[in-house]
A and B are shown apart, each in its own frame.
Chain A
Amino acid sequence: MRPILLSGHERSLNQIKFNRDGDLLFSVAKDKIVCAWWSANGERLGTYTGHQGAIWTVDVSPNTILLATGSADNTVRLWNVKTGECVKVWDFPTAVKRVEFSPDGTKLLAVTEKRMGFLGTIAVLDINYGDGQGNFEPQAEEPSLRITCNESKATVAGWGYMGKYIIAGHEDGSVSQYDAKTGDQLENVQAHEFDLQINDIQFSPDRTYFITASKDKTAKLLSTRNLAILKTYPSDTPLNSATITPKKDYVILGGGQAAMDVTTTSARQGKFEARFYHKVFEDEIGRVRGHFGPLNTVAVHPAGTAYASGGEDGYVRVHHFDKSYFDFMYEVEREQMRR
């Protein structure tokens, strides 16, 4: 498995995302630019410039028409993927830590930071696509829904199946389920150790379950329907990101010594590796080295043929899986296949 090294960012990566087809990879970093790459060969397609602060988050609409980014400059921007032009800027009172399109692309959620007297919120914006030929209709100025997190601010959020729920991970290690229509909190589960924040939430392809990555050094698989904890993946380092691989029953976790502690510890301490666990059996089955800083974000190709990781070191590494990855199987799995 030979990685493709994407060195287009000057600062640490914050999020990377494949589009639905998996041919494109978008990356955002603290250096204020958004990069788009061909995932097959690592060639850079272009950049989207305009943000005035570190960009925390990126997402792309289901058919790769629009790109949404959230930044420390307190804005959410909407970009025309094809032309690179910025079609909309929403201003928020605080930084935006996470954006995600609903499965049908009609809505965009934005998680805003708690700061300067403002409570953390999850805002839902309605998205208009126009004729789909690059003529975009004006977007609504105000969010159609605003969920305020009174107890503990949301750090990450995403959409449940059919866009029915909004699932949020909180600073205090809990996970909430909100009704996506009314914004009512339906459930709250202390999935991770108290006061150790959840750094990532990523969904399964059908969005019936999702994985959380927490500072408490574990990743957990939860049911979208009732937030039941299905699986736990323990590691030996704080986790920043986790993803569920389609095609094979694995999960990939990324993390490492917190960036601010790295200089005070030895390199061998860092644990800057992507870790593969078996999704069902919860065993660690492998690690991929390469980054020389903590992994801030991992993402997997929607077809399950490749994965990419973005690190504090400013690099994105794209790995296309080779045969042994697909061949590996537990004896019991093989048995089940035969039946």
Chain B
Amino acid sequence: MAPSFDTLSEQDLHEEEEEEEEIDFSDLKAQYEVQVDEGLDTFIVIDGLPVVPADSRQKLVKFLLRKLNSVGHTSEDAVFMPLSDKNMTEGYLHGVPLDKKHTLMVNKLMDIERYGREGRVEEEYKAPTVEAFKEKEHLRSWMGDVHARDQFALYRGDKVGVFWNNKSNPPENVVDRAHWTQLFVQWSPKGTFLASVHPQGVQLWGGASFSKQRQFPHPFVQLVEFSPQENYVTTWSARPIQVEEGSQSTLSYEEDGKNIIVWDITTGKPLRSFVSHDLTAGASAEGEPKKKVQWPAFKWSADEKYVARMLQGQSISIYELPRMNLLDKTSVKIDGVMDFEWSPATVTREGVKQYEQLLCFWTPEIGSSPARVGLMSVPTKEIVRTRNLFNVSDVKLHWQSQGTYVCVKVDRHSKSKKSMATNLEIFRIKEKGVPVEVVDSLKDTVINFSWEPNGGRFVVITTGEAAQGAAVAPKTSVAFFAPEKKGPSAGNFKLVRVVDKKNSNAIYWSPKGRFVVVATVHSQSSYDIDFWDMDFEGEKAEGEKDLAANLQLMKTVEHYGVTDVDWDPTGRYVVTSASSWTHSMENGWTLHTFAGQTLSENPTDKFKQFLWRPRPATLLSKEEQKQVRKNLREYSKEFDEEDRYAVDIANTAVVETRKRVLSEWTAWLRQQKELLSEDKEVYGLPEDVDDPKLAKDAPPATEDKGEAVVEEIVEEIVEEHEEIIN
């Protein structure tokens, strides 16, 4: 039986034309073939053909076959061309223009059955009712806050709430909903949407009241990834999607059996769906440990023109947006490719005029050929820079946020494979010929690396070898690097300082640069959080004079059981939190200033997630920003005044409430007292009935005519004097 049109659709189209993704569809096909019970869905009706005389019919059929065979399999015998009384073919239809007058249109015979039957489609045209325009909420309303406060989402217990950050005052609630999400919540990269994840799919919320914005019905979705400009979203589920025929859902047959869907946020429709590489790979190699899900499976270029996915060890497939078609209809074969990263910003290389996006990838040593790091320009797919490496155990790629540098962290083993060391190979993308600088002064392995956002400095954490069988993790060292001051372009990267004997394992730069938090997270024994300033405005150490940095530790705080550290998008606040996803001890979050001053502690039962709402890029031009910086003093005066005023108001409010509460309480007590004496009167009890002397077990001595004299000695200090007598 020929494959039905359904399976013939885009998937086969891509498979044949592009020869990509060696995915075995035989099981799926088998599945379909069972479902084909109407028997008609392998037939298509072609409409819009020119009317030709009978003798030219053969020609037309041949032509058609040529067209059809480009998308599927059919044969001459399988074509039936009806003839009219005049022995002319009746014009029927397909998808491409045949000539100026005739455009072919293809319909499934089943569809014609379904819609073409009498009564199925109403004879008379009825204009569809256009729903009245409804004003939608402004999706960026939160940016209009008069105090320029930031919002955050808080997921604890079953509840998710969005709050305004009020510094040391309790946060102001915007919305708080029970069971708002099933798995987790996630902001879109510019903060427009809040995504909640349910077994039925992903739901986007937005606007001032957090109303429903979009729905992506991906059943049993587990992971969500937004594109950087918020136009697309990728969803993943371990369970292949099952689409029932004739169901009314947004998903079509194309999504059947897939794990990943790339959605268009604007329309809410799937753009294209995919089967996870990991799962198919796992099925083929038995006994192998189950591979971790690669996420994000699809990585976006900075401008969202491209999205790419890697088939580890084989190739990278680059798709063009908005159509999601494979760039040049073929994947880029890279033998052994292990990982790749897009430049996070659109970079212009020196001497390169045409538009390009850059991506960086690496391949391990295969046989006698060395490991390799490559820089690829897209859409030309030209490899513009490569570098060979030896004795490589692992490589991590770190782009600087503006795409100025890419640091390739190379873990290298010695010849005997006994000891490990790390080299940092830094590519200077914007300089001519992309020179590479090697930092090999590090003796130990680097466990963490982080670039300063929009800057040229970085922090690394290194660790020595773990002693065999030691219960305690080895100590770590934190090293700060900065470029030398040298003309307009940054000089060589030099070590500023190393801090030894730490337990730190995580680096969190302020989104605005300069300040960096180095912390020990997910640890059982150590919870220190160090706040560093890279541009301390004080005396500089002698040896660091020529470096573009002045390092100063501002403060160290401890947060028991800390699991996460999050900077607010403006770089003013840092939240450290202990999530119950990791452990159940002292869950909650703490708000600090950028300098480490603790503003508030919020122990929260079953605390799960704290997420600052991201902000879109500023609308101020460079000049305007400079202007603001220049007049900072003027502005801050204004804000300080406001702050003082707010504190005053708050204090007065507190005092007023207390006064009210206290007077209410005394009034209540008085009323109770009155009611009580009324009751006592009604029951004929004496006013002092509660006195133990009147209780039934009172000794008879006191009951005796009540003559006993109760003596109470009350000592009272009237005044105290202290005199020194010489």
Q: Is A164 an interface residue (CB 8 A)?
A: yes
A106:B696 contact, CB within 8 angstroms: yes
Q: Is A280 an interface residue (CB 8 A)?
A: yes
Q: Is A212 an interface residue (CB 8 A)?
A: no
With known contacts A208-B672, A266-B585, A330-B658, A127–B696 Cβ distance under 8 A: yes
- Interface residue count for B (Cβ, 8 Å)? 34
B699:A104 contact, CB within 8 angstroms: no
Complex contacts, A331 vs chain B, CB 8 Å: 655
- Interface segment, one of A51-59, A62-70, A143-151, A306-314: A62-70
Minimal beta-carbon separation of B721 from chain A (angstroms)? 18
A61:B695 contact, CB within 8 angstroms: yes
Minimal beta-carbon separation of B78 from chain A (angstroms)? 69
Q: Is B683 an interface residue (CB 8 A)?
A: yes
A164:B679 contact, CB within 8 angstroms: yes
Instruction: Determine the distance from Cα of A236 to Cα of B655 in the docked complex, in whole angstroms.
Output: 26
Q: Is B685 an interface residue (CB 8 A)?
A: yes
Q: Is A38 an interface residue (CB 8 A)?
A: no
A230:B668 contact, CB within 8 angstroms: yes
With known contacts A208-B672, A236-B603, A332-B659, A63–B665 Cβ distance under 8 A: no
Q: Is A49 an interface residue (CB 8 A)?
A: no
Which residues in window 195-239 of A have CB below 8 A to B? 205-209, 217, 223, 225, 230, 236
Instruction: Determine the distance from Cα of A333 to Cα of B655 in the docked complex, in whole angstroms.
Output: 11
Q: Is A115 an interface residue (CB 8 A)?
A: no
A333:B662 contact, CB within 8 angstroms: yes
Q: Is B560 an interface residue (CB 8 A)?
A: yes
Instruction: Determine the distance from Cα of A64 to Cα of B695 in the docked complex, in whole angstroms.
Output: 11
Minimal beta-carbon separation of B491 from chain A (angstroms)? 48
B692:A63 contact, CB within 8 angstroms: yes
Minimal beta-carbon separation of A205 from chain B (angstroms)? 8
Q: Is B586 an interface residue (CB 8 A)?
A: yes
Minimal beta-carbon separation of A18 from chain B (angstroms)? 13
Minimal beta-carbon separation of A179 from chain B (angstroms)? 13
Minimal beta-carbon separation of B708 from chain A (angstroms)? 13
With known contacts A209-B672, A268-B560, A103–B659 Cβ distance under 8 A: no
The binding surface of chain B is classed by DSSP as: helix
Minimal beta-carbon separation of B517 from chain A (angstroms)? 23
Q: Which of A105, A106, A161 is close to B676, meaning CB atoms less than 8 Å apart?
A: A161
For residue A104, which residue of chain B has the nearest CB? B695
Q: Is A327 an interface residue (CB 8 A)?
A: no
Interface string of A259-289 (1 = CB under 8 A from B): 0000001101100000000001100000000
Minimal beta-carbon separation of A121 from chain B (angstroms)? 24
Q: Is A324 an interface residue (CB 8 A)?
A: no
With known contacts A63-B698, A104-B689, A129-B697, A332–B672 Cβ distance under 8 A: no
Complex contacts, B584 vs chain A, CB 8 Å: 265
Complex contacts, A335 vs chain B, CB 8 Å: 659
Which residues in window 662-683 of B have CB below 8 A to A? 662-663, 665-666, 668, 672-673, 675-676, 679-680, 683
B696:A280 contact, CB within 8 angstroms: no
Which residues in window 559-589 of B have CB below 8 A to A? 560, 584-586
B586:A269 contact, CB within 8 angstroms: yes
Q: Is B351 an interface residue (CB 8 A)?
A: no
Instruction: Determine the distance from Cα of A230 to Cα of B694 in the docked complex, in whole angstroms.
Output: 30
B662:A332 contact, CB within 8 angstroms: yes
B697:A132 contact, CB within 8 angstroms: yes
Instruction: Determine the distance from Cα of A76 to Cα of B609 in the docked complex, in whole angstroms.
Output: 51
A206:B690 contact, CB within 8 angstroms: yes
Complex contacts, B655 vs chain A, CB 8 Å: 331-332
Complex contacts, A217 vs chain B, CB 8 Å: 605
Instruction: Determine the distance from Cα of A173 to Cα of B42 in the docked complex, in whole angstroms.
Output: 66
Minimal beta-carbon separation of A171 from chain B (angstroms)? 21
Complex contacts, A266 vs chain B, CB 8 Å: 585
Q: Is B700 an interface residue (CB 8 A)?
A: yes
Complex contacts, B661 vs chain A, CB 8 Å: 280-281
Instruction: Determine the distance from Cα of A65 to Cα of B699 in the docked complex, in whole angstroms.
Output: 8
Instruction: Determine the distance from Cα of A209 to Cα of B673 in the docked complex, in whole angstroms.
Output: 11
For residue A261, which residue of chain B has the nearest CB? B584
Instruction: Determine the distance from Cα of A105 to Cα of B560 in the docked complex, in whole angstroms.
Output: 51
Minimal beta-carbon separation of A331 from chain B (angstroms)? 7
Which residues in window 56-87 of A have CB below 8 A to B? 61-63, 65-66
With known contacts A65-B697, A164-B679, A280–B665 Cβ distance under 8 A: yes
Q: Which of B585, B586, B663, B699 is close to A63, meaning CB atoms less than 8 Å apart?
A: B699
Minimal beta-carbon separation of A287 from chain B (angstroms)? 14
Minimal beta-carbon separation of A163 from chain B (angstroms)? 9
Instruction: Determine the distance from Cα of A333 to Cα of B665 in the docked complex, in whole angstroms.
Output: 12
A63:B697 contact, CB within 8 angstroms: yes
Q: Which of A62, A131, A269 is close to B698, meaning CB atoms less than 8 Å apart?
A: A62
Instruction: Determine the distance from Cα of A258 to Cα of B598 in the docked complex, in whole angstroms.
Output: 30
Minimal beta-carbon separation of A306 from chain B (angstroms)? 17
Minimal beta-carbon separation of A248 from chain B (angstroms)? 14
B696:A129 contact, CB within 8 angstroms: yes
Instruction: Determine the distance from Cα of A250 to Cα of B605 in the docked complex, in whole angstroms.
Output: 26
Complex contacts, A225 vs chain B, CB 8 Å: 672, 675
Instruction: Determine the distance from Cα of A230 to Cα of B666 in the docked complex, in whole angstroms.
Output: 12
Q: Which of B662, B668, B683, B697 is close to A62, meaning CB atoms less than 8 Å apart?
A: B697
Instruction: Determine the distance from Cα of A164 to Cα of B661 in the docked complex, in whole angstroms.
Output: 29
Instruction: Determine the distance from Cα of A133 to Cα of B675 in the docked complex, in whole angstroms.
Output: 37
Complex contacts, B673 vs chain A, CB 8 Å: 206, 208
B680:A62 contact, CB within 8 angstroms: no
Instruction: Determine the distance from Cα of A208 to Cα of B670 in the docked complex, in whole angstroms.
Output: 11
Instruction: Determine the distance from Cα of A155 to Cα of B658 in the docked complex, in whole angstroms.
Output: 34
Which residues in window 108-151 of B have CB below 8 A to A? none
For residue B669, which residue of chain A has the nearest CB? A208
Complex contacts, A336 vs chain B, CB 8 Å: 662-663, 666
B672:A223 contact, CB within 8 angstroms: yes
Q: Which of B689, B697, B699 is close to A162, meaning CB atoms less than 8 Å apart?
A: B689
Complex contacts, A281 vs chain B, CB 8 Å: 658, 661-662
Complex contacts, B666 vs chain A, CB 8 Å: 336
Complex contacts, A62 vs chain B, CB 8 Å: 692, 695, 697-698
Instruction: Determine the distance from Cα of A332 to Cα of B661 in the docked complex, in whole angstroms.
Output: 10
Minimal beta-carbon separation of B623 from chain A (angstroms)? 50
Minimal beta-carbon separation of B578 from chain A (angstroms)? 11
For residue B692, which residue of chain A has the nearest CB? A62
A66:B697 contact, CB within 8 angstroms: yes
A103:B672 contact, CB within 8 angstroms: no
Which residues in window 279-338 of A have CB below 8 A to B? 280-281, 330-333, 335-336
Instruction: Determine the distance from Cα of A16 to Cα of B116 in the docked complex, in whole angstroms.
Output: 87
Minimal beta-carbon separation of A250 from chain B (angstroms)? 13
With known contacts A162-B685, A332-B659, A103–B585 Cβ distance under 8 A: no
Q: Is A11 an interface residue (CB 8 A)?
A: no
B695:A105 contact, CB within 8 angstroms: yes
Interface CB pairs A-B, < 8 A, 28: A20-B692, A62-B695, A62-B697, A62-B698, A63-B697, A65-B699, A103-B689, A103-B690, A104-B695, A106-B695, A127-B696, A132-B700, A162-B679, A162-B680, A164-B679, A206-B672, A208-B672, A225-B672, A230-B668, A236-B603, A236-B605, A265-B584, A268-B560, A268-B586, A269-B585, A330-B662, A332-B662, A336-B663
Q: A62-B697, A206-B673, A332-B658 are in contact. List 5 more A-B contacts (CB 8 A).
A: A127-B697, A206-B690, A280-B665, A332-B659, A336-B662
Chain B residues packing against A (C-beta within 8 Å): 560, 584-586, 603, 605, 655, 658-659, 661-663, 665-666, 668, 672-673, 675-676, 679-680, 683, 685, 689-690, 692-700
Chain A residues packing against B (C-beta within 8 Å): 20, 61-63, 65-66, 103-106, 127, 129, 131-133, 161-162, 164, 205-209, 217, 223, 225, 230, 236, 265-266, 268-269, 280-281, 330-333, 335-336
